[in-house]
Amino acid sequence: MQNILSSTLKESIRAYAAPSEELGELHPGLLKLAYDNDWFKLFVPEIYGGPGLMLPEILRLEEALAAEDGSLGWTVTLCSGAGWFAGFLDPELAKTVFSDRKVCFAGSGAVGGIAVKTGESYLINGTWNYASGAAHATVFTANCILQDVDGLEILDEQGNAQVKSFILKREEVDIISGWSYFGLVATGSHAFKVAALKVPLNRTFEINKDIKVEKLGFDYPFLQLAETTLAVNSLGMAQHFIRLANRSFKLRSGQKRYTDSQKVFFEKELLRCNQELQKLRNEFYHVFDQSWHQLMENGFIAAPQLLAVSEISRKLAHSSRRAADDLFPYCGLEAAKKETEINRVWRDIHTASQHSLLTFE
């Protein structure tokens, strides 16, 4: 992971992290880095101007970004993850959407709207929360329950309300500022809404169905894709925190605040957290890589392997948070000061831990 980002990139990311938090969104300097390196287009196929990366490479990159700045890693992960929908979009729509060099998807996995089919269009009303990157997104994705013109829900073959995903343009949505949480501040994960918005039929898509591009990997199950990408963010943030915790304790112990035995105790705790996290990291990538190889070689992933991916993703995310909590008491009041880097990282980890996909281990 250490060589994925150059030293220059790492320094730039760190320099913009605190200013981004002050702005409540990614600093223009960070956005330029993202555009220049195609970080918001990680999943976009080359046919639409993307870098042509595959999920194994993307996970390692997202981990590396989160290890430098949690808000950047999280925003890139959520926005590029939404960009994965490129594989399921109407080709003509996709060409138009991705012609913008600064294209960036934001959206919500929740079903927050109603869509009524009226002839050759859909009429959409709804509100969706937690759209990371909303401040600079050019495209929004939104899930809606389908209704007929009489207001009755359209049911699928199993008798459940039918849900479709929609592509909305930035000028079609209203941003509702309200991301006031104590961590991941610079993600600017605001809500958005539309009222009586009419969109053409080709603005809909279904993930993992009717893949529109000739590129491997778009049939990797979306649940495990989401779980793995979120888990590596927690991992990266925890690695960042461990580095800072070591530095903080060394600064305090240099002032002769601790006995030799206390210093030895901390070193053992630091080593334990590092080793446990590294062990889980190795296990995580082993399990994930196995699932990827199954998909590439067989065209499908066995159910037990998918379950193993979900389990190790949750375990990694929970262990990442616990590592930060175990070391926090040894970092001094600087770790509790909201303007410090270590406090920002601690807040980011705990905010990320509230994502519903990884709530239960």
Please name the residues in contact with 159: beta carbons below 8 A apart, sequence gap of 6 or more: none
Closest CA to 230 of 349, 74, 110: 74
Residues in the chain with pLDDT < 50?
Answer: 1-2
What is the model's pLDDT at position 247?
96
Buried b (16+ CB within 10 A) or exposed e, 20-44: bbebbbbbeebbebbbebbbbbbbb
The angle subtended at Cα 209 by Cα 203 and Cα 212, nearest 5°, is 65
What is the model's pLDDT at position 214?
81
Closest CA to 189 of 140, 241, 124: 140
The angle subtended at Cα 289 by Cα 284 and Cα 292, nearest 5°, is 130
Is the pTM above the cut of 0.85? yes
**Per-residue pLDDT tens over the stretch 134-171:** 999 999 999 999 999 999 999 988 999 999 999 999 99
Classify domain 105-205 at the CATH topology level: Butyryl-CoA Dehydrogenase, subunit A; domain 2 (2.40.110)
Answer yes or no: are the C-beta atoms of 185 and 350 closer than 8 Å.
Answer: no
The three-state DSSP-derived secondary structure of the chain is CCCCCCHHHHHHHHHHHHHHHHHCCCCHHHHHHHHHCCHHHCCCCHHHCCCCCCHHHHHHHHHHHHCCCHHHHHHHHHHHHHHHHHHHCCHHHHHHHCCCCCCCEEEEEEEEEEEEEECCEEEEEEEEEEECCCCCCCEEEEEEEEECCCCCECECCCCCECEEEEEEEHHHCEEECCCCCCCCHHHCCEEEEEEEEEEEHHHEECCCCCCCCCCCCCCCCHHHHHHHHHHHHHHHHHHHHHHHHHHHHHHHHCCCCCCHHHHHHHHHHHHHHHHHHHHHHHHHHHHHHHHHHHHHHHCCCCHHHHHHHHHHHHHHHHHHHHHHHHHHHHCCHHHHCCCCHHHHHHHHHHHHCCCHHHCCC
Domain boundaries in the chain?
A: 7-88, 105-205, 222-358
Answer yes or no: are the C-beta atoms of 170 and 192 closer than 8 Å.
Answer: no
Please name the residues in contact with 247: beta carbons below 8 A apart, sequence gap of 6 or more: none
What is the model's pLDDT at position 254?
80
Closest CA to 323 of 360, 287, 272: 272
Write down the CATH superfamily of domain 222-358: Butyryl-CoA Dehydrogenase, subunit A, domain 3 (1.20.140.10)
Domain 7-88 has CATH 3.40.50.1380: no
Report residue 236 as tokens: 């990266």
